[in-house]
Amino acid sequence: MTIFVLTENSMHIEKIKKSLGKHYELSFMNSMDKFLELFSGDNNVELDSEECVVVLLEYDLYIQYDIASYFKKDEVVPFSPVLLSDNVGNIDLSNIFDTKTSLMMSLEKITNKELLIQIQLLIHNFYKMQQIQNYAFFDLLTKIGNRRTFMKNLELYFKYYQHNKTTFCLAMIDLDHFKFVNDTFGHLKGDEILAVTANIMQNNCRKTDMIARVGGEEFAIIFPQTELKQAYDVLERIRLCVEQTTEVDEAVRVTLSAGLVSVREDYKEYKDLISSVDLLLYKAKDLGRNRICM
């Protein structure tokens, strides 16, 4: 874990080294502009999903910047700030960034041990907040986006298309006869199949493709900047992999049906794509399942 320290105060630097240096990797910086360049805009630093970044920030620096303005609306700020101050006492400064929690502490009044405990408590709370965000935006079983995330992304892609005519495709995917699988082999096997299916989708899609579980055994994929034939080829690979996999159990085989559409000018809103692709999914089911209709 990295702790960035933004301060020019030599006394603060020495105290932080003594209290935190044995426990965390410290990176000292004296420029807010350089630090924010790491986390905002096109230069946004990529962090491991398990990594937590804490910033020890001199209070005088903080009040000179509107830090939240560096980030897009509803964007998750990838670090948690702790404000350092020479003021007496500890002040709770929650909601500086959305629901992030921050602390302001007087380094002249706090011992090295107390500082370490406060930082560890902040990190614990930061991880808890990340867990809550995961519950809100990700499907916990398959580790992909949930319906809420899918709908939000589809709306954004549609608005972008309206302004820039950047094409994208939408697929709705349903596992065939999944109720029979659950009833015959049990729900635990069914859960394993859902997780394996999601993994197959991730392995065959690009990082830029948005994959979500939108219902019990129903998935959706948004293919940005993709023509219909390209998206179809990816879906066909996924269909064959699902049909052939024995990863869960040799006796447990499933297939999938899918509908696929490309955005068009006659769609008035993003929900029109969902209606259109749903009809194609039903058509794939009516034609015998285990196929893609586009």
Q: How far is 214 from 178, CA to CA, in rounded Å?
A: 15
The distance from CA 51 to its chain's CA centroid, rounded to whole angstroms, is 14
Say whether 84 sits in a helix, a strand or coil. Answer: strand
Strands lying side by side in the sheet with 210-213 = 210-213, 218-224, 168-175, 256-262, 292-293
Closest CA relative to residue 292, chosen from 276, 275, 280? 280
Signed CA dihedral, 129, 32, 71, 48: sign only: negative
Q: How far is 75 from 205, CA to CA, in rounded Å?
A: 24
217 in catalytic set = yes
What's the full length of the chain, in residues? 294
Task: Catalytic residue, from 50, 217, 247, 265: name it.
Answer: 217
Q: Are strands 210-213 and 168-175 parallel, antiparallel or unpaired?
A: unpaired
Strand partners, 145: 138, 212
Q: Catalytic residue numbers?
A: 217
